[in-house]
Amino acid sequence: MAPALLCAAFVALYPLARTFYLSFTNARFGDPNPAKVVGARNYADLVSDVFFRDAVVLTVLFTVVTVLAELVLGLLVALLVNTRFRGRGGVRAAMLIPWAIPTVISAQMWKWMFNDVYGVFNDILVNRLHLFPKAIAFTAEESTSFWAAAIVDIWKTTPFMALLLLAGLQLIPSDLYEAARVDGATRWQQFVKITLPLLRPAMLVALIFRTLDALRVFDVFYVMFGNRPDTMTMATYAQQTLVSISDIGYGSAISIAIFLVIGIFVTLYIVVFRPEEA
Amino acid sequence: MLFPFVWALLSSLKPSEELFATPVRYWPDNPTLEHYRLVVENGDFQQALLNSAIVAVSVTLMSLVLGSLAAHALGRIRFRGRSVVLYAVLAMTMFPQIAVLGALFEMVNYFRLYNQLPALVLTYMIFTLPFTVWVMTGFMRAVPMEIEEAAYVDGATPFQVFYKIMLPLALPGMVTTGLLAFIAAWNEFLFALSFTQTPDKRTVTYAITAFAGSTSGMYEVPWGQTMAASVLVTAPLVALALIFQRHILAGLTAGGVKG
Protein backbone atom coordinates (compact mmCIF):
# COMPACT_ATOMS: atom_id res chain seq x y z
CA MET A 1 0.00 0.00 0.00
CA ALA A 2 2.86 2.29 0.79
CA PRO A 3 4.02 2.55 -2.85
CA ALA A 4 0.64 3.93 -3.87
CA LEU A 5 0.86 6.58 -1.17
CA LEU A 6 4.41 7.48 -2.03
CA CYS A 7 3.39 7.73 -5.64
CA ALA A 8 0.51 10.05 -4.75
CA ALA A 9 2.76 12.19 -2.59
CA PHE A 10 5.37 12.38 -5.30
CA VAL A 11 2.88 13.27 -7.99
CA ALA A 12 1.47 16.12 -5.95
CA LEU A 13 4.25 17.43 -3.76
CA TYR A 14 7.29 17.22 -5.98
CA PRO A 15 5.96 19.64 -8.62
CA LEU A 16 5.10 22.21 -5.95
CA ALA A 17 8.53 22.04 -4.35
CA ARG A 18 10.13 22.18 -7.78
CA THR A 19 8.06 25.20 -8.81
CA PHE A 20 9.13 26.91 -5.61
CA TYR A 21 12.78 26.20 -6.40
CA LEU A 22 12.43 27.29 -10.04
CA SER A 23 10.93 30.60 -8.96
CA PHE A 24 14.36 31.54 -7.56
CA THR A 25 16.18 30.75 -10.80
CA ASN A 26 16.49 32.28 -14.26
CA ALA A 27 15.47 29.02 -15.97
CA ARG A 28 14.23 29.36 -19.52
CA PHE A 29 12.95 26.57 -21.68
CA GLY A 30 15.26 25.88 -24.60
CA ASP A 31 18.14 27.83 -23.06
CA PRO A 32 21.42 25.91 -23.58
CA ASN A 33 23.00 27.49 -20.48
CA PRO A 34 22.14 25.81 -17.20
CA ALA A 35 19.73 27.75 -15.00
CA LYS A 36 21.28 29.83 -12.23
CA VAL A 37 19.84 30.68 -8.86
CA VAL A 38 19.15 34.41 -8.90
CA GLY A 39 17.69 34.80 -5.44
CA ALA A 40 14.49 36.78 -5.04
CA ARG A 41 14.93 38.78 -8.24
CA ASN A 42 11.84 37.28 -9.89
CA TYR A 43 9.77 38.29 -6.89
CA ALA A 44 11.24 41.80 -6.91
CA ASP A 45 10.23 42.08 -10.58
CA LEU A 46 6.79 40.73 -9.78
CA VAL A 47 6.08 43.43 -7.21
CA SER A 48 6.60 46.17 -9.79
CA ASP A 49 4.93 44.29 -12.66
CA VAL A 50 1.81 46.25 -13.66
CA PHE A 51 0.48 43.38 -15.76
CA PHE A 52 0.58 41.11 -12.77
CA ARG A 53 -1.03 43.73 -10.56
CA ASP A 54 -3.87 44.19 -13.05
CA ALA A 55 -4.27 40.42 -13.33
CA VAL A 56 -4.55 40.06 -9.55
CA VAL A 57 -7.12 42.86 -9.35
CA LEU A 58 -9.14 41.39 -12.20
CA THR A 59 -9.05 37.88 -10.78
CA VAL A 60 -9.99 38.93 -7.25
CA LEU A 61 -12.82 41.08 -8.59
CA PHE A 62 -13.99 38.23 -10.77
CA THR A 63 -13.91 35.88 -7.79
CA VAL A 64 -15.88 38.20 -5.52
CA VAL A 65 -18.52 38.97 -8.16
CA THR A 66 -19.06 35.42 -9.41
CA VAL A 67 -18.89 33.63 -6.06
CA LEU A 68 -21.33 36.07 -4.44
CA ALA A 69 -23.74 35.86 -7.37
CA GLU A 70 -23.48 32.08 -7.44
CA LEU A 71 -24.07 31.80 -3.72
CA VAL A 72 -27.19 33.99 -3.76
CA LEU A 73 -28.64 32.56 -6.98
CA GLY A 74 -27.64 29.03 -6.02
CA LEU A 75 -29.42 29.39 -2.68
CA LEU A 76 -32.55 30.67 -4.42
CA VAL A 77 -32.54 27.80 -6.89
CA ALA A 78 -31.86 25.26 -4.13
CA LEU A 79 -34.79 26.59 -2.08
CA LEU A 80 -37.06 26.45 -5.12
CA VAL A 81 -36.06 22.92 -6.07
CA ASN A 82 -36.39 21.80 -2.46
CA THR A 83 -40.15 22.45 -2.57
CA ARG A 84 -42.40 19.79 -4.03
CA PHE A 85 -43.59 20.33 -7.56
CA ARG A 86 -44.23 18.31 -10.71
CA GLY A 87 -41.13 17.59 -12.75
CA ARG A 88 -38.74 18.20 -9.89
CA GLY A 89 -36.60 15.22 -10.86
CA GLY A 90 -36.28 16.60 -14.38
CA VAL A 91 -35.18 19.99 -13.13
CA ARG A 92 -32.57 18.42 -10.90
CA ALA A 93 -31.23 16.37 -13.77
CA ALA A 94 -31.11 19.45 -16.00
CA MET A 95 -29.07 21.24 -13.36
CA LEU A 96 -26.21 18.85 -13.98
CA ILE A 97 -25.96 19.79 -17.64
CA PRO A 98 -24.15 23.16 -17.35
CA TRP A 99 -21.72 21.51 -14.94
CA ALA A 100 -21.05 18.64 -17.35
CA ILE A 101 -20.38 20.85 -20.37
CA PRO A 102 -16.63 21.53 -20.67
CA THR A 103 -15.87 25.13 -19.68
CA VAL A 104 -14.06 25.64 -22.96
CA ILE A 105 -17.19 24.71 -24.85
CA SER A 106 -19.59 26.74 -22.74
CA ALA A 107 -17.31 29.75 -23.28
CA GLN A 108 -17.45 29.05 -27.00
CA MET A 109 -21.26 28.77 -26.97
CA TRP A 110 -21.60 32.05 -25.10
CA LYS A 111 -19.11 33.79 -27.34
CA TRP A 112 -21.38 32.96 -30.25
CA MET A 113 -24.43 34.23 -28.35
CA PHE A 114 -22.51 37.42 -27.48
CA ASN A 115 -21.55 38.01 -31.13
CA ASP A 116 -22.13 41.67 -32.01
CA VAL A 117 -23.72 41.07 -35.45
CA TYR A 118 -25.26 37.59 -35.40
CA GLY A 119 -25.53 36.98 -31.67
CA VAL A 120 -28.86 36.18 -30.06
CA PHE A 121 -27.97 38.18 -26.96
CA ASN A 122 -27.74 41.45 -28.83
CA ASP A 123 -30.85 40.62 -30.82
CA ILE A 124 -32.87 40.22 -27.64
CA LEU A 125 -31.46 43.34 -25.97
CA VAL A 126 -31.60 45.63 -29.01
CA ASN A 127 -34.39 44.41 -31.30
CA ARG A 128 -36.79 42.77 -28.84
CA LEU A 129 -36.42 44.64 -25.57
CA HIS A 130 -35.05 47.89 -27.03
CA LEU A 131 -32.75 48.31 -24.03
CA PHE A 132 -29.84 49.55 -26.14
CA PRO A 133 -29.85 51.65 -29.29
CA LYS A 134 -27.27 49.48 -31.02
CA ALA A 135 -25.50 46.14 -30.68
CA ILE A 136 -22.61 45.84 -28.27
CA ALA A 137 -19.46 43.83 -28.97
CA PHE A 138 -19.55 42.28 -25.50
CA THR A 139 -16.42 40.21 -25.81
CA ALA A 140 -14.39 42.88 -27.59
CA GLU A 141 -14.97 45.97 -25.46
CA GLU A 142 -12.92 46.38 -22.34
CA SER A 143 -15.85 47.53 -20.21
CA THR A 144 -18.09 44.55 -21.01
CA SER A 145 -15.54 41.73 -21.37
CA PHE A 146 -15.29 41.19 -17.64
CA TRP A 147 -19.05 40.88 -17.30
CA ALA A 148 -19.32 38.60 -20.30
CA ALA A 149 -16.85 36.19 -18.68
CA ALA A 150 -18.58 36.54 -15.30
CA ILE A 151 -21.95 35.63 -16.85
CA VAL A 152 -20.52 32.49 -18.43
CA ASP A 153 -19.07 31.42 -15.09
CA ILE A 154 -22.24 32.23 -13.16
CA TRP A 155 -24.36 30.33 -15.67
CA LYS A 156 -22.11 27.30 -15.51
CA THR A 157 -21.65 27.14 -11.77
CA THR A 158 -24.88 28.36 -10.17
CA PRO A 159 -26.64 25.02 -10.75
CA PHE A 160 -23.66 23.20 -9.26
CA MET A 161 -23.73 25.47 -6.23
CA ALA A 162 -27.47 24.86 -5.95
CA LEU A 163 -26.94 21.10 -5.98
CA LEU A 164 -24.39 21.31 -3.16
CA LEU A 165 -26.71 23.54 -1.13
CA LEU A 166 -29.68 21.31 -1.93
CA ALA A 167 -27.83 18.37 -0.38
CA GLY A 168 -27.36 20.53 2.73
CA LEU A 169 -31.03 21.58 2.78
CA GLN A 170 -32.18 17.99 2.68
CA LEU A 171 -30.23 17.22 5.84
CA ILE A 172 -32.33 19.69 7.82
CA PRO A 173 -35.02 17.69 9.71
CA SER A 174 -38.51 18.73 8.58
CA ASP A 175 -39.94 18.55 12.14
CA LEU A 176 -37.96 21.71 12.92
CA TYR A 177 -40.10 23.58 10.39
CA GLU A 178 -43.27 21.96 11.67
CA ALA A 179 -42.44 22.98 15.22
CA ALA A 180 -41.70 26.51 14.01
CA ARG A 181 -45.03 26.65 12.17
CA VAL A 182 -46.88 25.48 15.26
CA ASP A 183 -45.17 28.27 17.17
CA GLY A 184 -46.42 30.72 14.54
CA ALA A 185 -43.11 31.56 12.84
CA THR A 186 -43.39 33.22 9.44
CA ARG A 187 -41.68 31.77 6.39
CA TRP A 188 -39.00 34.47 6.60
CA GLN A 189 -38.39 33.72 10.27
CA GLN A 190 -38.08 30.03 9.47
CA PHE A 191 -35.55 30.86 6.78
CA VAL A 192 -33.45 33.13 8.98
CA LYS A 193 -33.65 31.12 12.20
CA ILE A 194 -33.58 27.56 10.89
CA THR A 195 -32.45 27.29 7.28
CA LEU A 196 -29.55 29.73 7.28
CA PRO A 197 -27.81 28.58 10.48
CA LEU A 198 -28.21 24.89 9.68
CA LEU A 199 -27.10 25.39 6.11
CA ARG A 200 -23.94 27.17 7.23
CA PRO A 201 -21.58 24.18 6.94
CA ALA A 202 -22.81 23.36 3.43
CA MET A 203 -22.59 27.04 2.41
CA LEU A 204 -19.08 27.35 3.77
CA VAL A 205 -17.88 24.29 1.90
CA ALA A 206 -19.46 25.46 -1.34
CA LEU A 207 -18.01 28.93 -0.81
CA ILE A 208 -14.44 27.74 -0.26
CA PHE A 209 -14.72 25.28 -3.09
CA ARG A 210 -15.91 27.93 -5.53
CA THR A 211 -13.51 30.61 -4.37
CA LEU A 212 -10.49 28.40 -4.98
CA ASP A 213 -11.89 27.52 -8.37
CA ALA A 214 -12.58 31.12 -9.35
CA LEU A 215 -9.13 32.34 -8.28
CA ARG A 216 -7.47 30.04 -10.76
CA VAL A 217 -9.90 30.82 -13.60
CA PHE A 218 -8.26 30.19 -16.95
CA ASP A 219 -10.45 28.49 -19.55
CA VAL A 220 -13.19 31.11 -19.88
CA PHE A 221 -10.83 34.03 -20.24
CA TYR A 222 -8.45 32.25 -22.56
CA VAL A 223 -11.19 31.05 -24.90
CA MET A 224 -13.08 34.34 -24.99
CA PHE A 225 -10.19 36.78 -25.16
CA GLY A 226 -6.98 34.87 -25.85
CA ASN A 227 -4.00 36.63 -24.33
CA ARG A 228 -5.44 40.14 -24.55
CA PRO A 229 -3.59 42.21 -21.93
CA ASP A 230 -6.67 43.96 -20.51
CA THR A 231 -8.42 40.68 -19.71
CA MET A 232 -5.59 38.66 -18.20
CA THR A 233 -6.25 36.66 -15.06
CA MET A 234 -3.48 35.45 -12.78
CA ALA A 235 -3.65 32.03 -14.41
CA THR A 236 -3.63 33.22 -18.03
CA TYR A 237 -0.67 35.49 -17.24
CA ALA A 238 1.26 32.63 -15.63
CA GLN A 239 0.47 30.26 -18.48
CA GLN A 240 1.51 32.79 -21.09
CA THR A 241 4.79 33.54 -19.31
CA LEU A 242 5.60 29.86 -18.85
CA VAL A 243 4.55 28.41 -22.17
CA SER A 244 4.45 31.14 -24.81
CA ILE A 245 7.45 33.10 -23.50
CA SER A 246 9.16 30.01 -21.99
CA ASP A 247 10.28 32.03 -18.98
CA ILE A 248 10.17 29.24 -16.42
CA GLY A 249 11.76 31.20 -13.58
CA TYR A 250 9.48 34.21 -13.73
CA GLY A 251 6.44 32.10 -14.56
CA SER A 252 7.11 29.93 -11.52
CA ALA A 253 7.30 33.03 -9.35
CA ILE A 254 3.85 34.04 -10.67
CA SER A 255 2.57 30.53 -9.89
CA ILE A 256 3.83 30.72 -6.33
CA ALA A 257 2.28 34.18 -5.99
CA ILE A 258 -1.07 32.73 -7.12
CA PHE A 259 -0.66 30.04 -4.51
CA LEU A 260 -0.10 32.71 -1.86
CA VAL A 261 -3.16 34.73 -2.94
CA ILE A 262 -5.25 31.58 -2.70
CA GLY A 263 -3.72 30.88 0.70
CA ILE A 264 -4.74 34.35 1.90
CA PHE A 265 -8.34 33.69 0.87
CA VAL A 266 -8.41 30.33 2.63
CA THR A 267 -6.97 31.87 5.80
CA LEU A 268 -9.55 34.66 5.64
CA TYR A 269 -12.37 32.15 5.40
CA ILE A 270 -11.03 30.15 8.30
CA VAL A 271 -10.56 33.24 10.47
CA VAL A 272 -13.89 34.83 9.58
CA PHE A 273 -16.17 31.80 9.50
CA ARG A 274 -14.40 29.43 11.92
CA PRO A 275 -15.52 26.21 10.24
CA GLU A 276 -14.90 24.11 13.36
CA GLU A 277 -17.75 25.94 15.08
CA ALA A 278 -20.10 25.60 12.16
CA MET B 1 -30.65 27.36 -17.78
CA LEU B 2 -30.38 25.11 -20.81
CA PHE B 3 -30.72 27.92 -23.34
CA PRO B 4 -27.03 28.16 -24.37
CA PHE B 5 -26.97 24.46 -25.10
CA VAL B 6 -30.26 24.59 -27.00
CA TRP B 7 -29.06 27.62 -28.92
CA ALA B 8 -25.85 25.81 -29.86
CA LEU B 9 -27.95 22.88 -31.07
CA LEU B 10 -30.24 25.13 -33.15
CA SER B 11 -27.27 27.04 -34.55
CA SER B 12 -25.52 23.86 -35.54
CA LEU B 13 -28.53 22.87 -37.66
CA LYS B 14 -28.87 26.15 -39.55
CA PRO B 15 -27.36 26.50 -42.98
CA SER B 16 -24.78 29.29 -43.10
CA GLU B 17 -27.08 31.80 -44.80
CA GLU B 18 -29.54 31.51 -41.91
CA LEU B 19 -26.81 31.39 -39.30
CA PHE B 20 -25.29 34.64 -40.54
CA ALA B 21 -28.59 36.40 -41.19
CA THR B 22 -29.58 39.71 -39.63
CA PRO B 23 -31.86 40.08 -37.80
CA VAL B 24 -31.24 36.81 -36.00
CA ARG B 25 -33.44 33.88 -37.10
CA TYR B 26 -34.56 31.82 -34.13
CA TRP B 27 -35.73 28.63 -35.76
CA PRO B 28 -33.84 26.86 -38.56
CA ASP B 29 -36.15 27.00 -41.60
CA ASN B 30 -34.09 24.56 -43.62
CA PRO B 31 -32.33 22.40 -41.04
CA THR B 32 -29.19 20.76 -42.33
CA LEU B 33 -26.54 18.38 -41.04
CA GLU B 34 -23.94 20.00 -43.28
CA HIS B 35 -21.93 21.39 -40.34
CA TYR B 36 -21.89 18.00 -38.68
CA ARG B 37 -20.74 16.36 -41.89
CA LEU B 38 -17.83 18.80 -42.16
CA VAL B 39 -16.87 18.29 -38.52
CA VAL B 40 -17.06 14.50 -38.62
CA GLU B 41 -15.08 14.33 -41.85
CA ASN B 42 -12.43 16.64 -40.41
CA GLY B 43 -9.40 14.42 -39.78
CA ASP B 44 -7.97 16.64 -37.05
CA PHE B 45 -11.22 16.55 -35.17
CA GLN B 46 -11.49 12.76 -35.44
CA GLN B 47 -7.96 12.49 -34.09
CA ALA B 48 -8.76 14.91 -31.26
CA LEU B 49 -11.80 12.84 -30.25
CA LEU B 50 -9.66 9.71 -30.24
CA ASN B 51 -6.92 11.46 -28.22
CA SER B 52 -9.41 12.69 -25.66
CA ALA B 53 -10.89 9.22 -25.33
CA ILE B 54 -7.44 7.61 -24.90
CA VAL B 55 -6.31 10.17 -22.34
CA ALA B 56 -9.55 10.22 -20.35
CA VAL B 57 -9.88 6.44 -20.20
CA SER B 58 -6.22 5.92 -19.20
CA VAL B 59 -6.43 8.61 -16.54
CA THR B 60 -9.63 7.12 -15.16
CA LEU B 61 -8.28 3.58 -14.98
CA MET B 62 -4.94 4.56 -13.47
CA SER B 63 -6.57 6.84 -10.91
CA LEU B 64 -8.96 4.09 -9.90
CA VAL B 65 -6.23 1.47 -9.46
CA LEU B 66 -3.78 3.70 -7.57
CA GLY B 67 -6.55 5.58 -5.82
CA SER B 68 -8.35 2.54 -4.48
CA LEU B 69 -5.09 0.98 -3.22
CA ALA B 70 -4.18 4.19 -1.43
CA ALA B 71 -7.75 4.59 -0.16
CA HIS B 72 -7.70 1.09 1.26
CA ALA B 73 -4.49 1.87 3.11
CA LEU B 74 -5.87 5.15 4.42
CA GLY B 75 -9.28 3.80 5.29
CA ARG B 76 -8.14 0.64 7.04
CA ILE B 77 -4.52 0.14 7.90
CA ARG B 78 -3.31 2.02 10.94
CA PHE B 79 0.07 3.64 10.58
CA ARG B 80 1.88 6.66 11.93
CA GLY B 81 0.90 9.90 10.28
CA ARG B 82 -2.24 8.52 8.71
CA SER B 83 -4.34 11.57 9.46
CA VAL B 84 -1.56 13.83 8.21
CA VAL B 85 -1.56 11.98 4.90
CA LEU B 86 -5.34 12.20 4.75
CA TYR B 87 -5.30 15.95 5.28
CA ALA B 88 -2.54 16.31 2.72
CA VAL B 89 -4.72 14.48 0.21
CA LEU B 90 -7.61 16.76 1.12
CA ALA B 91 -5.45 19.82 0.54
CA MET B 92 -4.33 18.41 -2.79
CA THR B 93 -7.91 18.05 -4.04
CA MET B 94 -8.13 21.84 -3.75
CA PHE B 95 -4.86 22.32 -5.50
CA PRO B 96 -4.60 25.02 -8.18
CA GLN B 97 -3.05 23.32 -11.20
CA ILE B 98 -1.59 26.57 -12.43
CA ALA B 99 0.71 26.65 -9.39
CA VAL B 100 2.66 23.64 -10.60
CA LEU B 101 2.53 24.32 -14.33
CA GLY B 102 6.18 25.42 -14.44
CA ALA B 103 7.55 22.31 -12.76
CA LEU B 104 5.30 20.04 -14.82
CA PHE B 105 6.37 21.79 -18.00
CA GLU B 106 9.99 21.17 -17.05
CA MET B 107 9.27 17.56 -16.11
CA VAL B 108 7.38 16.91 -19.35
CA ASN B 109 10.34 18.25 -21.32
CA TYR B 110 12.84 16.34 -19.22
CA PHE B 111 11.14 13.04 -19.99
CA ARG B 112 10.80 14.11 -23.62
CA LEU B 113 7.03 13.86 -23.39
CA TYR B 114 6.26 17.29 -24.82
CA ASN B 115 3.54 16.97 -27.43
CA GLN B 116 2.91 13.34 -26.44
CA LEU B 117 -0.32 11.98 -25.00
CA PRO B 118 1.39 10.32 -21.98
CA ALA B 119 2.33 13.83 -20.82
CA LEU B 120 -1.37 14.55 -20.44
CA VAL B 121 -2.15 11.21 -18.78
CA LEU B 122 0.57 11.79 -16.18
CA THR B 123 -0.24 15.41 -15.46
CA TYR B 124 -4.00 14.86 -15.29
CA MET B 125 -3.39 12.41 -12.45
CA ILE B 126 -2.37 15.36 -10.35
CA PHE B 127 -5.98 16.45 -10.05
CA THR B 128 -7.81 13.14 -10.46
CA LEU B 129 -5.74 11.07 -8.04
CA PRO B 130 -6.18 13.07 -4.81
CA PHE B 131 -9.88 13.34 -5.54
CA THR B 132 -10.17 9.62 -6.17
CA VAL B 133 -8.26 8.78 -2.98
CA TRP B 134 -10.40 11.12 -0.91
CA VAL B 135 -13.78 9.93 -2.16
CA MET B 136 -12.77 6.26 -2.18
CA THR B 137 -11.46 6.47 1.38
CA GLY B 138 -14.95 7.57 2.40
CA PHE B 139 -16.51 4.64 0.58
CA MET B 140 -14.00 2.15 2.03
CA ARG B 141 -14.63 3.36 5.54
CA ALA B 142 -18.35 2.80 5.07
CA VAL B 143 -17.70 -0.95 4.71
CA PRO B 144 -18.15 -2.56 8.17
CA MET B 145 -14.89 -3.58 9.80
CA GLU B 146 -16.34 -6.94 10.92
CA ILE B 147 -16.52 -8.26 7.37
CA GLU B 148 -12.82 -7.70 6.94
CA GLU B 149 -11.92 -9.10 10.34
CA ALA B 150 -13.87 -12.25 9.56
CA ALA B 151 -11.83 -12.67 6.39
CA TYR B 152 -8.56 -12.25 8.27
CA VAL B 153 -9.69 -14.83 10.81
CA ASP B 154 -10.31 -17.19 7.90
CA GLY B 155 -6.70 -16.70 6.86
CA ALA B 156 -6.98 -14.20 4.01
CA THR B 157 -3.96 -12.04 3.15
CA PRO B 158 -4.36 -8.23 3.11
CA PHE B 159 -4.30 -8.25 -0.67
CA GLN B 160 -7.00 -10.92 -0.80
CA VAL B 161 -9.11 -8.89 1.59
CA PHE B 162 -8.68 -5.87 -0.64
CA TYR B 163 -9.34 -7.72 -3.86
CA LYS B 164 -12.12 -10.11 -2.82
CA ILE B 165 -13.99 -8.06 -0.26
CA MET B 166 -13.30 -4.35 -0.34
CA LEU B 167 -13.24 -3.93 -4.08
CA PRO B 168 -16.64 -5.49 -4.82
CA LEU B 169 -18.21 -3.65 -1.91
CA ALA B 170 -16.68 -0.35 -2.99
CA LEU B 171 -17.77 -0.81 -6.59
CA PRO B 172 -20.54 1.83 -6.52
CA GLY B 173 -17.96 4.26 -5.20
CA MET B 174 -15.61 3.34 -8.00
CA VAL B 175 -18.28 3.98 -10.61
CA THR B 176 -18.89 7.40 -9.13
CA THR B 177 -15.25 8.45 -8.80
CA GLY B 178 -14.44 6.96 -12.17
CA LEU B 179 -17.14 9.05 -13.82
CA LEU B 180 -15.94 12.21 -12.13
CA ALA B 181 -12.33 11.50 -13.10
CA PHE B 182 -13.39 10.81 -16.67
CA ILE B 183 -15.38 14.04 -16.95
CA ALA B 184 -12.56 16.06 -15.36
CA ALA B 185 -10.00 14.59 -17.78
CA TRP B 186 -12.28 15.02 -20.80
CA ASN B 187 -12.94 18.67 -19.95
CA GLU B 188 -9.35 19.66 -19.09
CA PHE B 189 -7.86 22.47 -21.08
CA LEU B 190 -4.89 24.17 -19.39
CA PHE B 191 -2.51 21.20 -19.55
CA ALA B 192 -3.69 20.16 -22.99
CA LEU B 193 -2.96 23.65 -24.26
CA SER B 194 0.42 23.81 -22.52
CA PHE B 195 1.84 20.35 -23.17
CA THR B 196 0.69 19.57 -26.69
CA GLN B 197 1.23 21.48 -29.85
CA THR B 198 0.54 19.78 -33.18
CA PRO B 199 -3.07 19.09 -34.30
CA ASP B 200 -2.57 15.31 -34.20
CA LYS B 201 -1.92 15.41 -30.43
CA ARG B 202 -4.65 17.81 -29.36
CA THR B 203 -7.59 16.83 -27.22
CA VAL B 204 -11.10 17.97 -28.14
CA THR B 205 -11.12 20.97 -25.83
CA TYR B 206 -7.96 22.31 -27.44
CA ALA B 207 -9.10 21.33 -30.95
CA ILE B 208 -12.36 23.24 -30.61
CA THR B 209 -10.70 26.46 -29.54
CA ALA B 210 -8.25 26.09 -32.42
CA PHE B 211 -11.09 25.44 -34.89
CA ALA B 212 -11.35 28.96 -36.19
CA GLY B 213 -7.77 29.20 -37.39
CA SER B 214 -7.58 25.76 -38.95
CA THR B 215 -10.76 25.56 -41.00
CA SER B 216 -10.92 28.98 -42.61
CA GLY B 217 -9.29 32.38 -42.73
CA MET B 218 -8.43 34.13 -39.49
CA TYR B 219 -11.32 36.52 -39.70
CA GLU B 220 -14.26 34.30 -40.35
CA VAL B 221 -15.01 32.00 -37.45
CA PRO B 222 -16.90 28.91 -38.69
CA TRP B 223 -19.59 29.20 -36.04
CA GLY B 224 -21.81 26.51 -37.54
CA GLN B 225 -19.04 23.93 -37.34
CA THR B 226 -17.88 25.13 -33.95
CA MET B 227 -21.39 24.69 -32.59
CA ALA B 228 -21.77 21.27 -34.25
CA ALA B 229 -18.46 20.17 -32.73
CA SER B 230 -19.52 21.55 -29.35
CA VAL B 231 -22.73 19.57 -29.45
CA LEU B 232 -20.87 16.40 -30.48
CA VAL B 233 -18.31 16.73 -27.69
CA THR B 234 -20.88 17.63 -25.06
CA ALA B 235 -23.54 15.07 -25.94
CA PRO B 236 -21.78 12.06 -24.39
CA LEU B 237 -21.15 14.02 -21.19
CA VAL B 238 -24.75 15.17 -20.97
CA ALA B 239 -25.85 11.57 -21.51
CA LEU B 240 -23.47 10.32 -18.80
CA ALA B 241 -24.60 13.05 -16.43
CA LEU B 242 -28.26 12.19 -16.94
CA ILE B 243 -27.85 8.40 -16.75
CA PHE B 244 -25.60 8.43 -13.68
CA GLN B 245 -27.30 11.41 -12.07
CA ARG B 246 -27.52 9.82 -8.63
CA HIS B 247 -23.96 8.54 -8.63
CA ILE B 248 -22.58 11.89 -9.68
CA LEU B 249 -24.58 13.78 -7.10
CA ALA B 250 -23.37 11.39 -4.40
CA GLY B 251 -19.78 11.84 -5.53
CA LEU B 252 -20.02 15.61 -5.79
CA THR B 253 -21.47 15.98 -2.33
CA ALA B 254 -18.89 13.54 -0.94
CA GLY B 255 -16.26 15.66 -2.67
CA GLY B 256 -18.04 18.78 -1.47
CA VAL B 257 -18.12 17.71 2.16
CA LYS B 258 -14.36 17.64 1.97
CA GLY B 259 -14.29 21.40 2.77
ipTM of the complex: 0.83
Q: Phi, psi (5° rounding) for residue A25?
A: -120, 175
Cβ-Cβ contacts under 8 Å, A270 against chain B: none
List beta partners, residue A37.
A25
Output the tens digit of pLDDT for each of chain A's 278 residues: 566 666 666 666 788 888 889 999 888 877 777 778 888 889 999 889 999 999 999 999 999 999 999 999 999 999 988 887 888 878 888 888 888 889 998 988 888 888 877 778 778 777 777 777 777 777 777 778 889 999 999 999 999 899 889 888 888 888 888 898 899 888 888 888 888 888 888 888 888 888 988 998 999 999 888 778 888 999 999 999 988 888 889 999 999 999 899 889 888 888 887 765 54
The residues with which A25 forms a beta bridge, in sequence order, are A37
Looking at beta carbons, which residues of chain A come within 8 Å of B1? 94-95, 97-98, 155, 159
Question: Alpha helix locations (H) across chain A?
Answer: 2-22, 41-47, 50-82, 88-100, 103-113, 120-122, 142-169, 174-182, 187-190, 196-215, 219-225, 234-239, 248-273
- DSSP state letter for B80: T
Mutation site for B-interface testing, chosen from A13, A76, A88, A112 by largest number of B Cβ within 10 Å:
A112
From the list A28, A41, A81, A55, the residue with the least C-alpha distance to B105 is A28
Give how far B212 is from chain A: nearest CA, Å: 11
- CA–CA separation, A66 and A63 (whole Å): 5
